Amino acid sequence: MILATLIIAGSLLMILYTIASKGMQSLTWDIISKVPEGGYYIGKGGGILNAIIGSLYISIGATVLGLVISIPVVLYVNIYAKRNSWLANITRLTFDVLFGIPSIVYGAFGFTIMVYFGLRASLLAGIITVTLLVIPILARAIDEVIRLAPTELSDATYALGATRWETSLIFLRQAIPGIITAILLSFGRAIGDAATVLFTAGYTDSIPTSLGQPTATLPLAIFFQLSSPIEEVQNRAYAAALILTFIVLIISLSAKYFSKKLSKHKI
C-alpha cells in the first residue's frame, strides 16, 4: 500500500517535473498573451493565447451546455419518474454506457454530424462534440449525489405542500457540493481532451470571434508543437502542457473552496 502510494506520488512528481523543466524556459509572458507568429508547426515566435482562449471557450461552453441538458434528466430520473421505473433504469444504463465510450468515438460521431449538417470544423462543432463527451460525466456524478439525498427530504418537502419542481430545487441545493465536483470533473475532461476536438474544432492561429470559426485548443497545441522537429517548438508544447495543468489546478482548488462555502447548509 505504501509502495503504491509512493509510485503514484512519484509519477505525479515526475510528470510535473518533466513538463515544468522543459516548459519553464518557454513559459514567457509572450506565450500566454500573444497568438502565434509564423504558423503553429514551425513558429517559434508569439504565443498560444489562441489555444488557451479556444480551450476555455470549448470547455466552459460544453460544461454549461452539458449542465443544461443533464440536470433536467437527473431531476426527471430521481424526482419525476417513479422510483425504479424502467425509463429511469434505462436512462441510468445509457449514461453508464456513454460514460465508457472513448472520446475518439465522440470525435468521429461529432465529425459525422458536422458533415451531415454541412458545418465546418468550428467552435460550435467542437462545443457540441465535447458536450456529448461531458454529459454522461455530469449526469452520472449529479445523479449519484441526488440519489444519496435521503427520501425523507422529499417526504418533508411534499408534506409542506411543495410541488415536484419545488422539491427538485431543494434536492439541487442539497447536491451543490456534488454538482460542483461534477462541473470540475467535466471541465477537466473537456479542457484536456484532444480526440473530440481533433476533427471538429479545427485549428487556427487566431482567436475565434464567432461560433462558426474554427479554433485552436491546448491539447492540439501540445500535439502539433510536439510533433515539430524543432526543439524550441517542442519546448513550447511543454509550456502549453504546463498552462493546461495550471488551469486544471486552479479550477480544482476554486471548486473545493466554493463547494465548502456553498454547502454550509447541507444536511
Nearest approach, Cβ of residue 64 and another protein (Å): 24
Considering just the CA atoms, what is the radius of gyration of the chain in Å? 21
Shortest gap between Cβ of 93 and another protein (angstroms)?
16
167: exposed, middle or buried (Cβ count in 10 Å: 0-12, 13-18, 19+): buried
What is the spatial distance between Cα 204 and Cα 2, in angstroms, rounded to a whole number? 46
Nearer of residues 80 and 109 to another protein, judged by Cβ: 80
Angstrom CA distances, 200 to 36, 86, 109, 113, 131, stand at 21, 35, 10, 10, 12
Cα separation, 217 vs 197, in Å, equals 8
45 bridge partner residues: 37
449526469: which residue's cell?
139
CB nearer to another protein: give 119 or 162.
Answer: 162
Our CA dihedral for 135, 137, 141, 147, rounded to 10 degrees, sits at 50
User: Closest approach of Cβ 82 to another protein, in Å?
Assistant: 4
CB of 191 to another protein, least distance (A): 30
Q: Which is nearer to another protein, 96 or 166 (CB)?
A: 166
Q: What is the 3-state secondary structure (H, E, C) of 126-173?
A: HHHHHHHHHHHHHHHHHHHHHHHCCHHHHHHHHHCCCCHHHHHHHHHH
Which CB atom, from 15 or from 169, has the smaller least distance to another protein?
169
Q: Which is nearer to another protein, 23 or 177 (CB)?
A: 177
Q: How far apart are CA 131 and CA 125, in angstroms?
A: 10
Tell me which residue has cell 480526440.
Answer: 195
Report in angstroms how near the CB of residue 158 gets to another protein at its nearest: 6
- Closer residue to another protein, CB minimum distance, 120 or 266: 266
What is the nearest approach in angstroms of another protein to the Cβ of residue 134?
Answer: 26
Residue number, 102 or 150, with CB nearest to another protein: 150
Nearest distance from C-beta of residue 187 to another protein, angstroms: 24
C-alpha to C-alpha distance for 105 and 160, rounded to whole angstroms: 47
| Dihedral sign computed on CA atoms, order 166, 169, 174, 175 | positive
Question: Which stretches of the chain bind another protein, using CB under 8 A?
Answer: 82-85, 150, 152-163, 166, 170, 173-174, 264-267
